[in-house]
Amino acid sequence: MSAQMADLRVLVIDDEGFMRKLIAMQLRALGCKSVLCFESGEVALDALSNGGLDINLIVCDLQMPTVDGIEVIRRLGSLGFQGSVILASGECQRTVKMAEKLAHAHGLKLLGALQKPVQPDQLKWLLDKMGGHCTTEPRKPRAAHQVAASDLAHAIESGQLINHYQPKVCTRTGQVVGMEALVRWCHPEHGLIYPDAFIGVAEENDLINRLTEAVIAGPHGALQHVKQWTAAGLNLHVAVNISMDNLHDLSFPDQLARHAEEAGVGLGHLVLEITESRLNTDVLSLTDILTRLRLKRLRLSIDDFGTGYSSLAQLHDLPFDELKIDRRFVHKAHQDSALNSILEASVNMAHNMDMTTTGEGVETVEDWLHLQRKGCDLAQGYWIAKPMPPERVIHWVSEWRERIAELPGLEVSA
């Protein structure tokens, strides 16, 4: 075995005991004499930042509780870790690729990613890439940025914000797959106020995190509603609109996980919708947080697609599961060839990137039939249902089931 292998001082971070042992065993078999194992990223990072460990290779699992692999990557970057890094993961290729990009962006010397369970020849191949020395470019540290704001703050705290829900329906089967939460302010004097009047105010006045928290996790929030629907036998996901400002808070994924656990709802029930027009801000921290959300099994959706200026390359790089085509390319697309071309191209592009497509703004049966013909997976719009209060949802689903029995072109009645 080469002297170089014998010189390696390896740190393995993996919460699964079996995996830790397996990787350590394989490293030793390859001639590494010094292999340390940690089951938690937090403990490993503490030890590294105290300067108590002299390590030149880290093999890190991506999916771990509390401090996950993405956070380890970020913190290794800010510690200026000079050694090499190998990621080990059972995640899908796209998620792993995102993590690899992040590691590079944080200035880490990434040897590559290993698919779990780790094969010895894969590991050896990556170690061979190490060469004689480890160089890393140090990274710049990263920094974070009228309806009366005081009235809005009071409304959030006193529970005046309520969610209405608009269904998302499968165009092939007619099945209701989810509900999108749309926030309204139930004002004691002015009645129902729509989000366009206050989301901007919340964003500008540092209230958006509290607002989003109320929409998702408040006593009348989306998690409580999805729980009630599940109890009533409806398997629905709930989609929530997220402001880009929510994603500046790196603790957002952990907060969501905590709220979901408290509510007893799996995070797989949540979809976060992010408006396309704001995707091109700080791509690095966006990639960090989106990848971590995805590791927690949340689904991510690009909202209002077609209204922003994201490049195809950018969309390909970000880990989205769903593309929502803006209503301006859906409504009347059947009678306008320019709109139709955009619609078709968006559906095809999303499918090529393994994303689900949703057409917004289905206002007529012609819009619905057109989406069905074009292979757009899901539909949403006034023709299916206008946003409704949560207590109407269960009844609406049974009405819809009767309605679709008469709809043309459906494969199965749900």
Binding mask 363-402 for ligand C2E (x = CB under 6 A): x-----------------xx----x---------------
Residues with Cβ within 8 Å of residue 254, at least 6 apart in sequence? 66
Cα dihedral 307, 308, 309, 314 sign: negative
Cα Rg of the chain (Å, integer) = 24
Instruction: Identify what 218 binds: ligand C2E, Ca ion, none; CB under 5 to 8 Å per kind.
Output: none
CB of 88 to ligand C2E, least distance (A): 36
72 binds ligand C2E (CB under 6 A): no
Residues of 301-314 as b/e, b for ≥16 C-beta within 10 angstroms?
bbbbbbebebeeee
Q: What tokens were used for 230?
A: 């599940």
Angle at 133 (CA atoms; ends 129, 136), nearest 5 degrees = 90
Contact 62, 99 (CB under 8 A): yes
Give the residue among 255, 216, 298 at the shortest CA–CA distance from 66: 255
Element (H, E) at 237: strand 237-242
Q: Residues touching ligand C2E: how many (CB under 6 A)?
A: 21
Could you say which residues in the range 359-378 bind Ca ion, by CB under 5 A?
A: 360
61 binds ligand C2E (CB under 6 A): no
169 binds ligand C2E (CB under 6 A): no
Q: Residues touching Ca ion: how many (CB under 5 A)?
A: 5
273 binds Ca ion (CB under 5 A): yes
Q: What tokens were used for 292?
A: 């971590």
Give dist(CA 183, CA 190) in Å, integer. Answer: 16
Angle between helices 283-295 and 252-263 (to 10 degrees): 20
Could you say which residues in the range 284-313 bind Ca ion, by CB under 5 A?
A: 303-304
- Residue number, 178 or 319, with CB nearest to Ca ion: 178
Q: What tokens were used for 65?
A: 């509780």
Instruction: Identify what 196 binds: Ca ion, ligand C2E, none; CB under 5 to 8 Å per kind.
Output: ligand C2E
CB of 168 to Ca ion, least distance (A): 10
Q: Which of 63, 243, 310, 346 binds ligand C2E (CB under 6 A)?
A: 243
- Residue number, 77 or 361, with CB nearest to Ca ion: 361
Instruction: Identify what 68 binds: ligand C2E, Ca ion, none; CB under 5 to 8 Å per kind.
Output: none
Give me the residues that bind ligand C2E (CB under 6 A), please.
166, 182-183, 194-196, 199, 215, 241, 243, 273, 275, 303-304, 327, 361-363, 381-382, 387
Give me the residues that bind Ca ion (CB under 5 A), please.
241, 273, 303-304, 360
